[in-house]
Amino acid sequence: MAHHEQICGFTPYTQSIHRVEGTTVFMAPTDQGDRLVVIGGALGFVGEREHREDKECLVAPLSHENAQRLRQVFPFTAPRPGLPGGCSMGVGDRLGVATAGHLRVFKRYPQVFPVLAQQSIRELNLTQRSYEEVLDCATFAVFKAGYQGGFGADGDHLKKPEEIEYALRCGYSMITLDCSEHIRGDAADLDHDALAARYQPDPELEAIYLNREIAIAPGITLTFDRDSFMRTVLIYGEAIGFMRDIYARYVEGKPVDFEISIDETMTPTTPLQHYFVANELVRHGVHFASLAPRFCGEFQKGIDYIGDVEQFSRELAVHDAIAKKFGYKVSVHSGSDKFKVFPAVGELTDGVFHIKTAGTNWLEAVRLVAMKDPAFYRELHAFALNSFPEATTYYHVTTDLGRIPEVHTLSDEQLPELMNHNDARQLLHITYGLILTAKDEHGNRALRDRLYALLDRYADDYAALLDKHIGHHLELLFSSK
């Protein structure tokens, strides 16, 4: 980043210089790392007072209380809702240092609303981070880059009331409600007699749905016969009650993007099931911004789509038509690296969709390690191989470790290429939590500390890798435009 002016002996990040009520606020590097500097009135920031060049300066650390104050003084550093209408993209940042690279991309795509903070409880636990910290990292990065386009913060895949309370208390602008614990997927395989035995007749619902032609869009009509109706009610009835309850208790009347997630199921969401869930919610006054169905094929972490792209496209067109009929948009989860389907997602939705990526910035960090410190990469690789069995208890993947080249047979120059190899990508993708939290014999998080030191030293290279990688996602998503 170019430094033009010196202010009171600091060399501010140029884009971060802001003036408000006669006070100048900026971020600048110091011997202790980046600091906020406030000149001419403290504005409520907390730090060390210094007298420099006849001026009173406050040098404030990047703490939680200063992040809160920053969000009040400069509202563009606070998350806000922004999903409805166009394209939005969630980019989880598990390390808390990826936002600078992400913002390079989003400055080129002003039509995309970025959700810069996005973390599930599972990710918080695996990285031992908090919602406060995840959001604060985004706030400081947005201020440093002077990005004023607005951004969201997503409490991702929340399942329990206390998780939703936690995310909202921290100021998150989006709640993704994971309904999987209330979806009765076992009813998907029942035959007619078994369905009829379990189904409790509901005349009101039957009058609305059964044997009616439901027009979705020109050329798209849906009809529930008795079996598909009973099956849908049995699978989703309880989950819809859960969605309505959470909405009424936490979301209604609040400025929050509400996403319904029904993607974590064993079988793909049929158009009938999608329609039923959406219509039941809308009929009961639940407003939501997006819904994530489970698509056909496999959306595994860190690798391209596995499945029939033609079938995916046909089904996406119907899901999108249902969403458009009600005025929300389809959300695509595990969207990192799904290059085969991106052109269809952009084109069939007419650019109105939400997509979530998460692991990408972690793998690009690992790629940076392989480029800059091959010996360290070899250590990470060996550690990941040892931790792989434990990691597969959190993530479903079809990784074949036998297809990964033995690293001792590779030259240092060949190591970064491993991050283009599906099995090696998944190996390092799913072991991130174990790598980041591993303690050595002295109780230090040695791997984590070395990784952060490297990312700090090569921050510009890291941002360039993310710019290229996420940029490639957006090029394909917008390739039909």
Closest CA to 119 of 181, 45, 176: 176
Shortest distance in whole angstroms from residue 177 CB to Zn ion? 11
Shortest distance in whole angstroms from residue 233 CB to Zn ion? 23
Please say which residue, 319 or 333, places its beta carbon nearer to Zn ion: 333
Shortest distance in whole angstroms from residue 388 CB to Zn ion? 22
Shortest distance in whole angstroms from residue 74 CB to Zn ion? 32
The mark string for 281-320 relative to Zn ion (x by CB under 5 A, - otherwise) is ----------------------------------------
One of 263, 320, 337, 364 touching Zn ion (CB under 5 A): 263
Stretch that binds Zn ion, among 327-335, 369-377, 427-435, 443-451 (CB under 5 A): 327-335
Q: What's the length of the chain?
A: 481
Stretch that binds Zn ion, among 125-133, 257-265, 358-366, 415-423 (CB under 5 A): 257-265
Please say which residue, 66 or 120, places its beta carbon nearer to Zn ion: 120
Please say which residue, 123 or 263, places its beta carbon nearer to Zn ion: 263
Which of 123, 136, 154, 156 is labelled catalytic?
Answer: 156
Stretch that binds Zn ion, among 199-207, 248-256, 282-290, 331-339 (CB under 5 A): 331-339
Shortest distance in whole angstroms from residue 408 CB to Zn ion? 37
Phi, psi of 358 (to 5 degrees): -140, -55
The mark string for 357-396 relative to Zn ion (x by CB under 5 A, - otherwise) is ----------------------------------------
345/477 Cα distance (integer angstroms): 7
Please say which residue, 136 or 156, places its beta carbon nearer to Zn ion: 156
Closest CA to 120 of 369, 292, 4: 292
Is position 259 an interface residue for Zn ion (rule: CB under 5 A)?
no
Stretch that binds Zn ion, among 12-20, 25-33, 279-287, 325-333 (CB under 5 A): 325-333
Phi, psi of 153 (to 5 degrees): -135, 120
Phi, psi of 246 (to 5 degrees): -60, -40
Please say which residue, 163 or 373, places its beta carbon nearer to Zn ion: 163
196/198 Cα distance (integer angstroms): 5
* Catalytic residue check, 259: yes
The mark string for 413-452 relative to Zn ion (x by CB under 5 A, - otherwise) is ----------------------------------------
Partners of 331 in the β-ladder: 354
Closest CA to 105 of 463, 394, 478, 479: 463
33/31 Cα distance (integer angstroms): 6
* Catalytic residue check, 156: yes
335/342 Cα distance (integer angstroms): 9
With CB under 5 A as the rule, give the number of residues binding Zn ion. Answer: 2
Give the per-residue SS3 of 224-242: ECHHHHHHHHHHHHHHHHH
Which of 123, 178, 257, 259 is labelled catalytic?
Answer: 259
Which amino acid is present at 32? Q
Report CA-CA distances (Å) from 258 to 33, 200, 254. 37, 30, 10
Matching residue, tokens 């005349």: 203
Is position 154 an interface residue for Zn ion (rule: CB under 5 A)?
no
Please say which residue, 355 or 455, places its beta carbon nearer to Zn ion: 355
Report CA-CA distances (Å) from 240 to 214, 230, 279, 282, 321. 20, 15, 10, 11, 21
Is position 333 an interface residue for Zn ion (rule: CB under 5 A)?
yes
What percent helix, strand, coil does the chain show, rounded to 5?
50, 15, 35
Shortest distance in whole angstroms from residue 136 CB to Zn ion? 25
Shortest distance in whole angstroms from residue 339 CB to Zn ion? 19
Q: Which two tokens stand for residue 110?
A: 């002003």
Shortest distance in whole angstroms from residue 334 CB to Zn ion? 6
118/172 Cα distance (integer angstroms): 9
Matching residue, tokens 């993209």: 89
Stretch that binds Zn ion, among 49-57, 259-267, 374-382, 427-435 (CB under 5 A): 259-267
Closest CA to 275 of 187, 206, 216: 216
Residue 435 contacts residue 94 (beta carbons within 8 Å) = no
Stretch that binds Zn ion, among 24-32, 39-47, 229-237, 330-338 (CB under 5 A): 330-338
Residues near Zn ion (CB under 5 A) = 263, 333
Enumerate the active-site residues. Answer: 156, 259
